[in-house]
A and B are shown apart, each in its own frame.
Chain A
Amino acid sequence: MAMRQTPLTCSGHTRPVVDLAFSGITPYGYFLISACKDGKPMLRQGDTGDWIGTFLGHKGAVWGATLNTDATKAATAAADFTAKVWDAVSGDEVLTLAHKHIVKTVNFTQDSNCLLTAGNDKLLRIFDLSNPEAAPQEIAGHTSAIKKALWCNDDKQILSAADDKTIRLWDRSSMEVVKTLTFDTSVSSMEYVADGEILVITYGKTIAFYNALSLDLIKSVEAPATINSASLHPEKDFFVAGGEDFKLYKFDYSSMEELESYKGHFGPVHCVRFSPDGELYASGSEDGTLRLWQTAVGKTYGLWKCVLPEDLGAENSEQLYTPAPEIKA
């Protein structure tokens, strides 16, 4: 019997959700942070979407947000020209790192000791969090605002994507550029998959997969609409993408075939990420919501419950919420 995907809607933000990130798997489960133009990034339990807390302090739209692997620290990048580091357990602000322009992206090293930031001033900055008073190391080169910057190759290198239509690979010690990829159009998103050294890039309607060390193209595919973000499943059997037509697309990674598409958001999808266990993926949209989607539709996981036909009508069944079929506008 075919099952229809029931996305779980996480409300709370009052403006578009522009970025989201999962933590690794911790003894308390895994967590999700969302960056929003309302300036109030939120932390949620990753498998249920339950709100845990809101990081209060930024004075402008938050463009980027990230968690460290064990979800004890969070970092955010905002339009108030600061990046902030937070205690993700208490919600307290730990550090404010001043910049000269809008900060768009933040990323922790695996040991959480260094924070990479970048934004509209076209510079990459590396902050030593054990010595925050010290001036950060700065890497120049991009000729336009940097959209995304990530540590890669065991934190020995840095990948950055900017509005100058390039993606650059930098060596951390020499601070020099190692390789540059040039595109005809701005790259809309970038995801780094450490296991297998794969880089997922989206631009226009294209979702492309590159070798993160050599920056050689592995394969690519065109989606039916302009794509803003894509994410590869940890086991590399699927990838998901979302963009300007409000839908989420699911593709098979080996064949690059489109498997399914899901409606649900009421605005363009800005970001999409698989959870660390691959059981679900989260999307953030212009409509101000986050939605959680099952990878295996119908499976019992998190808040989703597999109901077999013989269970329906059983006297001792738990209270279940079955959503009414959505009314199409």
Chain B
Amino acid sequence: MATPVSVLRLPKGPDPNSRGFDPRSPRFIALCRTSICTSAASEADPEQLQREQHARSVLRESFLRCLLSMTDKKVQFHMHEKVKVAATFGASDIDVLNFQVSNLHTPIGVQKEALIRCQDVISFTFDA
């Protein structure tokens, strides 16, 4: 009888908690841009570039202030797969890859402390 070919292991299946595309994989690190590039129009025109840079710094500052003002507030997160969860916001990590939250309300109960993966988040809202 013929011997079946041996395998080292079976192919890895999907992670039930994430949509994948691991940001720590070598391909992601090499190919994924972590910031938006300068627009083509700005590369040509120095004045346009200055205006674009100014707009970028205004937006960045605004985003960072938003994260600061969210501390200890109740935030609603809209995530992939129609997931809507609410939690008390703690802090973000430096690359905005994870949000540290407390009292995360989920359909299966309240999690005292949790980390929310930013790439799974579509949007979030809170009352300032």
- Using CB atoms and an 8 Å cutoff, list the residues of chain A in contact with chain B: 1-6, 8-12, 28, 42-44, 48-56, 72, 87, 89-91, 292, 294, 297-298, 303-307, 318-323, 325
Contact = CB atoms under 8 A, between A and B. Distances in A.
Contacts of A55: 19
A72 B30 CA distance: 12
A-B pairs, 7 with minimum CB distance: A53-B20, A49-B11, A91-B21, A53-B21, A2-B2, A4-B2, A50-B12
Q: Is the interface of B mostly helix, strand, loop or mixed?
A: loop
8 contacts: A4-B2, A6-B7, A12-B14, A89-B31, A297-B5, A303-B7, A321-B8, A323-B7
Given A292-B11, A305-B6, A322-B4, 15 more contacts: A4-B2, A5-B5, A8-B7, A8-B10, A8-B11, A12-B13, A12-B14, A50-B11, A53-B22, A90-B23, A91-B20, A304-B5, A307-B6, A318-B8, A325-B4
Interface string B1-38: 11111111111111100011111011110111000000
B80 interface: yes
B95 interface: no
B102 interface: no
B49 to A, nearest CB: 21
B21 A3 contact: no
A28 B31 CA distance: 11
B43 interface: no
Nearest to B12: A50
B13 A3 contact: no
A31 B112 CA distance: 39
Given A12-B13, A292-B11, A3 B80 contact: no
Assign chain B's interface to a size class: 20 to 34
Contacts of B23: 90
B9 A53 contact: no
B119 interface: yes
A54 B8 contact: no
Nearest to B23: A90
Contact of A3 (B4, B25, B26, B32): B4
User: Taking each of A9, A49, A53, A56, which has the highest tally of chain B beta carbons within 10 Å of its own beta carbon?
Assistant: A53
Nearest to B11: A49
B93 interface: no
Contacts of A49: 11
A298 B12 contact: no
B81 interface: yes
A51 B31 contact: no
A319 B10 CA distance: 12
Contact of B2 (A3, A292, A304): A3
Contacts of B27: 28, 89
